[in-house]
Structure 1
Amino acid sequence: MANILVIRLSAIGDVAMTIPVLYNAAKSNPKDSFTVLTQSFLIPIFINRPDNVKVLGINTKGPEKTLAGLLRFGSALVQYDFDLVLDLHNVIRTKILRSLFTIKGTKVIVYKKDRHARALLTARDHKVFKPLESVIKRYADVFREAGVLYVEDFVSLYQEKSSDLSFLESEIFPKRNKWIGVAPFAKHQGKIYPLDRMEDVVAKLSERDDFTIFLFGGKGHEESVLAEWALRYRNVKTVVGKYSLDQELALISQLDLLISMDSANMHFASLVGTKVLSIWGATHPYAGFYGYHQDPDNIIQLDLSCRPCSVFGEKPCFRGDMACLNQISAEVIINKVEEILYS
């Protein structure tokens, strides 16, 4: 009976992608204990987890932000009797934490990022345009390398327990029509479809009484934009600031479709078995970050020789025109929604 520590601190979408792998491993090894270390605010997405999975929180923007704080945290962490440490992040913070376990003599297995292949995929010149192994497969390979039995059977966070929707207002639940989610934002500009055109998509879809539109985003600017859209168009509701993270997951599980960028929301929908229509700009599914078990036919992207120019979408467009996103019309997205929902 092994006691296994799994580390993935960020980003939100990457942590979400660990869940199918972690749950698969835990179910495959019911006599072993798994503890996942991640940001405290992400603990709520680890819902309906196997009985042998625990979640431990860290706050790298608070007490554990400094080296001294991280070392204090790590010194307490190594007091736990872990037999094996799996580092699914492989960044400076996790290197520091895992080094403490190495000093103690604990076996450590590390996620391999294949930075060279990513650099070739995103190169401006002499690009090597071929799909890389998915991040989820690479996560699973860490478990396999460690000798942990791994059988894949994850379908949804709600495959064994239905979602609790009692928090939804009676005016929208039970469902009376098809529910479409729209998540128009992402961390980096290179992944965000022009907002004026996404508003056109929302406006057109809102004209139909067979659709209810739910808008997903963060606080601040995103919240303001989505609130305006919800006021401007019928059959449109914003969920920003209304629900907790686990409640948003429950709502997403009831959507008939989520329109999303290459963002955390795509991965949240993948965790609950909801179809995603994803729009890709500077990044590309070939980098390995496509949603778990999502249909590749539900991708909207342009075949441009400059794509992908970035793995994460943070680099400025060297062409200066963001053609990868600006040349996608709202009509293409609207027609694809119709095709997915009614074909």
Structure 2
Amino acid sequence: MKHIIVFRLSAMGDVAMTVPVITALVQQFEDVEVTVVSRPFFRPFFEHLPRVHFFAVDVQGRHKGFLGLWRLYRELSKLKPDGFADFHNVLRSKIVRIFFCLSGIRTAYTDKGRAEKKALTRAENKVFKPLKTMVQRHCDTLSAFGFQVQLNNIILPQPKVLSAKIQNITGVKIKKWIGIAPFAQYKTKVYPEDLMREVIRKLALDDHYQLFLLGGGTEETELLNQMQQKLDNVIVVAGKLTLEEEMALISNFDLMLSMDSGNAHIAAMLGVKVLTLWGHTHPYAGFLPFNQSFDNTLTADRTRYPKIPTSVYGNKQVEGYEEVMRTISTDAVVEKIKDLSK
């Protein structure tokens, strides 16, 4: 098989988790080409990879609805793929997958382990054990085509040379650069604002660190400006860079502090060490960032809150669990950052 289509839409972190898998594929099978089908915003994730092409889906326009998916299939079939790898495995991708299957093209899909995740997140009779990561599940999907992809020897990107625009914001790197991404899609995954302010203040007292605060949108930018607390070695990056420029900056970080969110997976795919904080969700669900160990996580106290994880994505608020992340002390976060960034 020479040409594989990889289909993955969804959120930023989900798409970022496909990057190490596709990186390993093209590095270990030099005669393979890949076409990634995803949302236009994520194109920069794949631009550094050889023999990887990008097909932007217009889910609100020409590819909307059943007829739009038929149109998408027809457009993709003109690329003459040998296989269709469905990394998404939802209704939209299943429809396109069926079209390819009926046309005689080999297909495979990612088993998301929904039954195992349900057992992990249910309140009663919880089966609390680490599940296979999504990155490994995508590798399993490729194995259906005969590609035994190995993740332990891939070459990750080197830090990017920063443009003059970025350096006007960051200055020259003479300290340890720590990125801090304090937001997530759901509040159940966000470290309390007052505690995050304290983490930033404590880190800023150490002149060995330069801190960069990341986020998106007007509301998050305003909050980051407040968290900056007029500290000289804290810079708010939100709203100042494109995604591609922000990725170049992240690639130069010595460490990223993130919630269970997309920024953790972006940093990981760029080869940056990541410390993640977990509230209602848990790294056992399979979303531990690529190439990071469980030692690079701080989780809420399950002795006090035994129903954790309450959901896979953090979209379920359990009564009485509103303050679970306060069981992660600011001192624990700061000490972990200092340890990991040595």
TM-score interval for Structure 1 and Structure 2 normalised by the shorter chain: over 0.9
> Shift of the alpha carbon at 1:149?
4.2
Check conservation: 2:156, 2:270, Cα contact below 8 A. Answer: yes
Spell out the pairing of 1:83-162 with structure 2 (5 A cutoff): 83-152=82-151, 153-158=153-158, 162=159
Distance of 2:62 and 2:185 partners within structure 1: 24
Deviates more, 1:178-187 or 1:229-238: 229-238
- Residue correspondences, number: 337
* CA gap 1:62/1:188 in 2 versus in 1, 3 angstroms: farther
Could you say what secondary structure the match of 1:248 adopts?
A: helix
Distance of 2:278 and 2:208 partners within structure 1: 27
1:64 aligned partner: 63
> Shift of the alpha carbon at 1:170?
4.7
Spell out the pairing of 1:157-168 with structure 2 (5 A cutoff): 157-158=157-158, 162-166=159-163, 167-168=165-166
Instruction: Work out the percentage of aligned pairs sharing the same amino acid.
Output: 37
Distance of 1:228 and 1:197 partners within structure 2: 13
Deviates more, 1:247-256 or 1:66-75: 66-75
Could you say what secondary structure the match of 2:179 adopts?
A: strand
Check conservation: 1:118, 1:287, Cα contact below 8 A. Answer: yes
Provide Cα deviations, 1:246-298, integer angstroms capped at 9, x if missing partner: 21111111111111101111111111221111100111111111011113212
Q: Where does the alignment leave 5 or more consecutive residues of structure 2 unmatched?
A: none
Counterpart residue type for residue 106 of structure 1: I
Q: If the length of structure 1 is used for normalisation, what is the TM-score?
A: 0.93
Distance of 1:323 and 1:71 partners within structure 2: 47
Q: Where does the alignment leave 5 or more consecutive residues of structure 1 unmatched?
A: none
Check conservation: 1:258, 1:276, Cα contact below 8 A. Answer: yes
Check conservation: 1:47, 1:246, Cα contact below 8 A. Answer: no
- The CA RMSD over aligned residues, in Å, is 1.7
1:333 matched to 2:333? The reply is yes
Distance of 2:32 and 2:173 partners within structure 1: 41
> Shift of the alpha carbon at 1:124?
0.2
Distance of 1:157 and 1:196 partners within structure 2: 35
* CA gap 1:104/1:131 in 2 versus in 1, 3 angstroms: same
Distance of 2:198 and 2:63 partners within structure 1: 43
Distance of 1:214 and 1:109 partners within structure 2: 40
2:245 aligned partner: 247
Provide Cα deviations, 1:190-215, integer angstroms capped at 9, x if missing partner: 11111121111112222332211100
Check conservation: 2:228, 2:234, Cα contact below 8 A. Answer: yes
Q: If the length of structure 2 is used for normalisation, what is the TM-score?
A: 0.93
Distance of 1:215 and 1:145 partners within structure 2: 41
Could you say what secondary structure the match of 2:89 adopts?
A: coil
